[in-house]
Amino acid sequence: MELNYLYITVLVILSIAFIIGMLRFIKGPTASDRVVALDTISIIATASLVFMGYIFNRYIYLDVALIYGVLGFIGVIIIARYLEGAL
């Protein structure tokens, strides 16, 4: 496996996006800001899994990314309903 400049660029962009999302999650002034940051981190993790599946040529990562994306979406919906006061 050879990492070329495109792979390294994508990894750097995903890492920077993850760090920015973590900073917003830690520093977020309200709970809704933290939920949005958590959703963003979940999307970045899903994109990372898809990228890993492409690099390693293993399609199981795509299945894991799909399930992770669905569970992340359901989790955000549940947290948003809780913050709204509906639960």
The pLDDT tens digits for 23-67 are 999 998 998 899 999 999 999 999 999 999 998 999 899 999 999
Q: How far apart are the first and last CA of the chain?
A: 49
Give the pLDDT confidence score for residue 84 in this predicted structure. Answer: 86
pTM: 0.84
- Predicted confidence (pLDDT) at residue 22 exceeds the cutoff of 80: yes
Better pLDDT: 65 or 1: 65
What would the mean pLDDT of 14-19 be, rounded to a whole number? 96
The domain segmentation of the chain, as residue ranges, is 5-84
Give the pLDDT confidence score for residue 45 in this predicted structure. Answer: 94
Give the pLDDT confidence score for residue 4 in this predicted structure. Answer: 87
| Helices (H), ranges, the chain | 5-27, 31-56, 60-84
